[in-house]
């Protein structure tokens, strides 16, 4: 499941936010793959896709730094 989950997240970012290929360890904000608008779109996607919820206190960009980090965050919330 984590691999499938990571794949889904990466595909969403590539198709809807970055418009290019990204790697699982690439820093998304610094590399320009995601900006502040994309960050919120990603949160909406994660909530819909994995049935989890985020609050305003969890907007910390560092937690969304890479595809791997996002997948880890989702796994923690799903548990």
C-beta closer to other proteins: residue 43 or 65: 43
The rounded distance, in Å, linking the Cα atoms of 36 and 17 is: 11
C-beta closer to other proteins: residue 2 or 44: 44
- Candidate list 7, 30, 35, 49; residue touching other proteins; CB under 8 A: 35
Which of 60, 61, 44, 54 lies closest to 76 in space, CA to CA? 54
Alpha helices in the chain (DSSP H): 2-12, 36-50, 67-78
Residue 49, interface with other proteins (CB under 8 A)?
no
- Candidate list 11, 31, 40, 78; residue touching other proteins; CB under 8 A: 40
Residue 59, interface with other proteins (CB under 8 A)?
yes
Q: How far is the CB of 42 from other proteins (least distance, A)?
A: 10
Cβ burial of 64 (10 Å; 0-12, 13-18, 19+) is buried
């Amino acid at each position: 499941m984590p691999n499938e989950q990571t794949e889904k997240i990466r595909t969403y970012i590539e198709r809807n936010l970055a418009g290019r290929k990204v790697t699982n360890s690439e820093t998304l904000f610094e590399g320009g793959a995601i900006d502040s608008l994309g960050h919120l779109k990603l949160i909406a996607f994660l909530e819909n896709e994995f049935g989890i919820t985020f609050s305003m206190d969890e907007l910390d960009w560092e937690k969304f730094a890479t595809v791997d980090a996002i997948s880890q965050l989702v796994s923690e919330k799903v548990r």
